[in-house]
Amino acid sequence: MNTSYNKTYIFAITLVATLGGLLFGYDTAVISGAEKSIQAFLIEPLGLSTWLHGATVSSALVGCILGGAISGFFSNRIGRRQTLRLAALLFLLSALGSAFPETLFFPKGEPSIALLITFNLYRILGGIGVGLASAVAPMYISEISPAHIRGRLVSFNQFAIIFGMLVVYFVNWGIAKGQTVEWINSVGWRYMFASEAIPATLFGLFLLLVPETPRYLALRKREDAALGVLAKVNGSLQRAGEIMDEIKHSLGDQTRARIFTYGKKVIVIGILLSVFQQFVGINVALYYAPRIFESMGAAKDASMLQTIIMGLVNVVFTVVAIMTVDKWGRKPLLITGSIGMAVGMFAISALSFNNVIGISTLVFIIIYTASFMMSWGPICWVLISEIFPNKIRGQAVAVAVAFQWFANYLISSTYPAMMEFSGGVTYGFYGLMALLSAFFVWKMVPETKGRSLEEMETLWKRS
């Protein structure tokens, strides 16, 4: 196999594309520092329910579901690069609109139902950007990368998502540090949302410098342009021609099948992988981290500092997963992670029932998040990309991802009301889901390590 390629060029292109992943993480986690201020500014003055606060905090997920659903349409119609540019624009509009929802329509600082709706619409707009980026950024990297380094480069996108969350934890902490609660509730939360405008603008500008993917260009019969990109990526016109022949052959052999061609089991497994990834409660920890730490006795700025510690743990253990997934296999990592999450959540539940607040709580939250990040965080996406046979992969992945965003919304929006009922019961429920996820993986999920995609097709035919 010819393994030569233009390292500087492909790394630069990958870095630009992973800004989409960074913004994915930034947008989904920025609410963690602002959600209590939103409650104080928009929910409590209007006498609205805790449930509505939860729905507001999670409103971006409505956009995520929509963005994921329409990503295939846009990426095929206007291209991968143009779809990412659209996502960058949506990120920018959402950042500024969420920070200053009164602009053009309402008097500043006066809460109303109409203003709450407008704020939610801006958050949904950003969610559409997240949905587009979550689907198209990995696709772009995959289609532009040389085959022998594609997996490593695509994995950078997952790292970028976690890194984006860590960055916004630092930003939120920096904005809130040393400030009064009154200032944060009136002004600080606006700065938190507006800060996203900086990476969104950089993403949009850098996308002006990168090419469209060769696969999309070939789909559009622009073979000369595709050949030019391949030559620049691989550093050789001869090698570019060989790859171009392979792309044309692949496109000529493409076939489609009904989603249940290989039975319902493979689809159910894909859906349950997505649902369990959310039902173990990880996005509660991401969205509500400062509130969780505050409820356990930390001051406002201290709670955000503890959130940063959690973000660092996320980054480190995501790297652990990337380094071990092809050595240890998917199932051992998932089962190990499920057990670790169950230990963490059941311990937090017990501490909550006994009103014990202290460093032990932080330790068990770190055990929980570390267990998730080394397992279900990245490995779920790996399995969803591998487990479906070639002929139904596009349709099946779309179904699984749609269920994932819906489960994300369901868990995140119900958290405040569940906590109002009982913190111990809430964390116990997430611990139970972690145990069930381990049993599910043990009994139903096949090991895909070392198997080709064609072998997976044979596996489901045999089943």
Residues 308-326: b if buried by 16+ CB within 10 A, e if exposed: bbbbebbeebbbebbeebe
Q: What does the alpha-carbon distance between residue 232 and residue 2 come to, in Å, rounded to a whole number?
A: 15
> Tell me: the pLDDT tens digits for 69-81?
887 778 778 888 9
For the chain, percent of residues with pLDDT exceeding 90: 21
pLDDT of residue 303: 58
Category of 72 on φ-ψ map: left (φ > 0), alpha (ψ -120 to 50) or beta: alpha
pLDDT at 140: 83
d(CA 294, CA 290): 6
Residue-wise pLDDT for 214-231, tens only, equals: 878 877 788 888 888 888
What six digits make up the tokens of 382?
């790996």
pLDDT digits (tens, 9 = 90+) for 178-190: 888 888 888 888 9
What mean pLDDT do residues 248-257 have?
57
Class of domain 260-463 (CATH, top level): mainly alpha
Is the Cα dihedral 20, 67, 134, 194 positive or negative? positive
Highest mean pLDDT (candidates 55-64, 269-278, 348-357, 405-414) = 269-278
When pLDDT is cut at 50, 70 and 90, the band that residue 452 belongs to is: very low
DSSP 358-378: SHHHHHHHHHHHHHHHTTHHH
Query: Which string of b and e fits 352-387 if b means at least 16 CB within 10 Å?
Result: beeeeeeeebbebbbbbbbbbbbbbbbbbbbbbbbb
User: What integer pLDDT is reported at residue 453 of this predicted model?
Assistant: 44
Q: Residue 249: what pLDDT?
A: 66
Those residues with Cβ within 8 angstroms of residue 285's Cβ, 6 or more apart along the chain or in another chain: 292, 310, 365, 368, 369
Res. 304 pLDDT band, cuts 50 70 90: low
Hey, what amino acid is at 117? I
- CA gap 115, 33 in Å, rounded: 20
pLDDT at residue 454 in the model: 47
C-alpha to C-alpha distance for 198 and 164, rounded to whole angstroms: 13
Indicate whether 43 pLDDT > 80: yes
Average confidence (pLDDT) over 425-432: 91
H or E stretch including 121? helix 113-144
Does the pLDDT value for residue 276 go beyond 90? yes
Q: Do domains 1-210 and 260-463 have the same CATH topology?
A: yes
Cα 183 from Cα 302, distance rounded (Å): 17
| Helix, strand, coil tally for the chain in percent (to 5) | 80, 0, 20
Amino acid, res. 298: A
Supply the CATH classification number for the domain 1-210: 1.20.1250.20
Summarised one tens digit per residue, pLDDT across range 312-329 is 777 888 888 777 777 787
* 431 has a pLDDT exceeding 90: yes
Which pLDDT belongs to residue 438? 95
Predicted confidence at residue 358, as pLDDT, reads 65
* pTM for this prediction: 0.75
Per-residue pLDDT for 250 more than 60?
no
What's the mean pLDDT when you consider all of the chain? 81
The mean pLDDT of 409-426, rounded to a whole number, is: 80
pLDDT confidence bin for 449, thresholds 50/70/90: confident
Query: Which of the residue ranges 17-26, 146-155, 274-283 would you say has the lowest mean pLDDT?
Result: 146-155
pLDDT of residue 457: 66
Q: Where are the domains of the chain?
A: 1-210, 260-463
